[in-house]
Structure 1
Amino acid sequence: MDTSVTIKDVAARAGVSVGTASRVLSGNPATSASARERVNQAATELGYRPDARARGLRSARSHAVGLLVSDVRNPFFADVAHGAEQAALASSYVTLLANANEDTAQQDTYLEAFLTQRVDGIIIAPQGEGSGNLRALERGRTPLVFVDRTVEGFEVPSVTADNAEGVDLAVAHLAAQGHTRVGYIGGPPSVSTGRARHDAFLAAVARHGLDQDPELIAVGDFRSASGSASAAALLAADRPPTALLAADSLMAVGALGEVRRRGLRIGTDLALVAFDDIEWFGEIDPPLTVVAHDARALGERAMRLLLEVIEGGTGESVVLPMRLVVRESSTGRPAD
């Protein structure tokens, strides 16, 4: 055996990168069959043997986990991150926080960085599958947990909220106040929560006998500017809604600004219900009715689930309940 042979020599002989050679030789399945064949053949021909001490160091845990949120500017995800971080610290882990900025390309960049940093596991609020890093993580059996959102076709444990319950609570409340034309400001259909809440809204409107006019639905992107634009479009219709349901806190902020710019009074001229109970929603005039779920609990449960997977557990997905917090923004009767 030639102890001077290194993994760089193996990679050069096989015609692959050092990273690919390392993954093949460590048994990581996130490689192609062709690459595995070439690397193993090169290692045999060169008489390469991995250094047992280095292999032991690589297998040691870093006690660091990655947390990739969708938008750090969104108070909801700030609370998710806080809950996850505190749960990690309680188990002697540190958290590396990253921001996807609601973009799959930026998501891929940070997932690659997490792998480079040798984190023991990753929690992600996914924007979608992206260009392949998320799938590579799944194939490579990196401990992985989805929080708030999921991606179709991935067998990954998740911690999410009961979107159907939350939407139905809001629609039922507005129906009880006498509203029949409820405008809905939804998230992008490319994101699981966007699809789930949209479908739940359609089902709730039908169940409570409200107007099913498709012009009462607008699509945003979970950011305030889209909430403003969506509210403007809905309120400019020939038959505008008497109530708005915004499927995210930032879009609710945008909608609130547009309503006020039009000289309308929330709770009197127009009812408004928002998703996510960010701290100051209860302090504005009038206070906003919200579909609330515990963002900190989402983060905490996701971290506990990830640590379970890191320890070799299978990890069972969790769905947390939602509740309606009724305030003055939605308690007035619609104008005749």
Structure 2
Amino acid sequence: MTAPRENGHRQPGGTLNRSPLTGLRRTRFGLAVAAVFALVLGGLFVAAPAYAADAALVISKVVDGQPSVTVDPDDEFTYTISVGCNDNDCVDATMSDPLPAAWAGFPILAKQVVPASQPATLTLDGCDTVVTADCTLEAAFQQTLPGGGTGIVAGVTYQVSLTLKVPADLPASWPSNGVAVKNTASADATTADPVSASADVTVAIPVRIDTAVGKTWAPSTQQYQPGVASTITLTNQNTSNLPAETLTAQDPSSAVDGQAGDRHRQPVPPRRLHRIRPGRAPRGRRPGAGRRLRARPRDERLPLGHRLPGAARRHRAPRRRLGP
């Protein structure tokens, strides 16, 4: 059997000297194997699209078209947030607007994103129809981008709006009464730096002081009977738009606070008989039966035995003596 032939020659002492051509062939073989592996792996993995990292997000925010507004109880106001993209496409562009905790309890009337022809998702996180202490308005802009993925195409602007209503029964003691409450929205994308914008709303609640007083008399109808008791009940309710420490009701209303009873300050002052005038009797009744009594107030009492002015005097006819 013949041994395989090797390229090269054996030096004295048994050492084999290889030809330089053999090493070159082995190097070419290794490069070919690496190229094959590269082709196979390239078919298995798809390279991610390359995006420019110099896109620019733009955001602005107003309330009722102004940077700041002042509203009253039972008023409505609308936040409008504009988010646009410049220079290059904004990949995975989103907007987030955490609502102020001061608005907790405010009804949410409407939310909207335009243009409606462009895909976007608008959601409320942590609330639904009423603002809570942890309520966030979130938007995801989902235009199909030329380089793949979704976001905002360069040159396109979205508008997000949210309408709230101030409760009509907010008290004047509400902690945020007269305070400018700032609301900040922010936008972000993987190819652009985050941006933010704010708008202020002030709720002005005027202080209103008022009470509702009620009065009942039981029994409601009763003839005058000396010694028979009746009950007067007074009620007093605070109808102000802030709490009251004390409520006081007095009757009559013209009395001085803390003053003892005074008959001259009663709602109906006492009257004394001053004059009696004879009147004309109606037809069909006997004379003197239809006299009217007229009275007017008088401060001084009439002395005992004083004859009333204009009073009719009684005259007795002289007795006739019967003679023989």
TM-score normalised per structure 1: 0.19
Structure (1/2) with the larger strand percentage: 2
Structure (1/2) with the larger helix percentage: 1
TM-score normalised per structure 2: 0.20
